[in-house]
Amino acid sequence: MKIPERIKPLIEDGIIDDVLRQLKSGKEAAVYLVRCGEHIRCAKVYKEATQRSFRQAVEYQEGRRVKNSRRARAMEKGSSYGKREQETAWQTAEVDALYRLAAAGVRVPKTHGFFEGVLLMDVVEDGDGNPAPRLNDVMLTVEEAREYHQLLVRQTVLMLCAGLVHGDLSEFNILLAADGPVIIDLPQAVDAAHNNHASRMLERDLENLSDYFGRFAPELIHTHYGKEIWKLYANGELTPDSPLTGKFAENTKAADVHGVLLEINDVLKEEMRRQERMKALDD
């Protein structure tokens, strides 16, 4: 098969020995099965910005920190150098997230380095030793749907405890390994503490899970883990073992508009009296 241009330098450097076949081509990258010595691994080759259909929306990049001030200024100005640096930052965000989440015990592929737009990872395998299918490509029993749903809810909790929200979690970026679901595709992961969209993205991730698994276990459609988990996180009470119910009661209590107006009126009156006192002292 034709070797992707970005993989050629890795072959020349002896990091990759052979490209076996393409596993998939997605909106942001193509994934290849490669041989590295005695090991078979995945090589995720990121597409050029002009070739990708996934939009690097501002909402995903909010809160991401760039340590080098020169790079940060160039990215803000949108110069050619800045655009290249922004592209690199987008790609390395996934690498950083994978290491961070693996350390927190989240089920993500093990990484083996990032080389100029190519991310090397372990192959996630099914029970027969083949590359694991996406969750969307398998049929589940009711019991499996309930089990995997709970496991993935807990994975989102672990992620949030590590300070990250996936931001694009669905059945299309979860692989079903021999020992259960594994989460993939994380270049858009957001910093929960510094991104104003994080709570909405978490809710959407959890809704995607309940909608998908609800096809097999309908009662899951009516769960509301996103709001429940975020409330615990916002209150500083979320732990990997926090009890969850999947229920969340919205605050439906009507605002006391009349009381608020009275308080504003009192403040205005006090300000008028203060100004009158000040005027009297000047006289």
**Catalytic center residues:** 168, 185
The per-residue pLDDT for 167 is 94
Q: What is the pLDDT along the chain (283 residues), one digit of tens a residue?
A: 789 999 999 999 999 999 999 999 887 889 999 999 999 999 999 987 654 444 445 555 665 564 555 554 544 555 555 555 667 777 788 999 999 999 999 999 999 999 988 999 999 999 999 999 999 999 999 999 999 999 999 999 999 999 999 999 999 999 999 999 999 999 889 999 999 999 999 999 999 999 999 999 999 999 999 999 999 999 999 999 999 999 887 655 555 666 656 667 666 666 676 666 666 555 5
CA distances from 10 to 2, 15, 113, 240 (A): 15, 5, 11, 39
The per-residue pLDDT for 262 is 66
Rounded CA separation 242/215 (Å):
27
The per-residue pLDDT for 276 is 66
Q: How many residues does the chain have?
A: 283
Q: Is 128 exposed, middle or buried (0-12, 13-18, 19+ CB in 10 A)?
A: exposed
Per DSSP, the three-state class of 142 is: helix
The per-residue pLDDT for 75 is 45
Measuring CA to CA, which residue among 12, 1, 7 is closest to residue 119? 7
The per-residue pLDDT for 226 is 97
**What's the Rg (C-alpha) of the chain?**
25
Cα pseudo-dihedral 74, 50, 45, 155, rounded to 10: 80
Q: Domains for the chain: give ranges and CATH numbers.
A: 8-234 (1.10.510.10)
Per DSSP, the three-state class of 112 is: strand
The per-residue pLDDT for 2 is 86
Cα pseudo-dihedral 209, 212, 214, 217, rounded to 10: -100
CA distances from 36 to 5, 19, 123, 137 (A): 17, 9, 12, 28
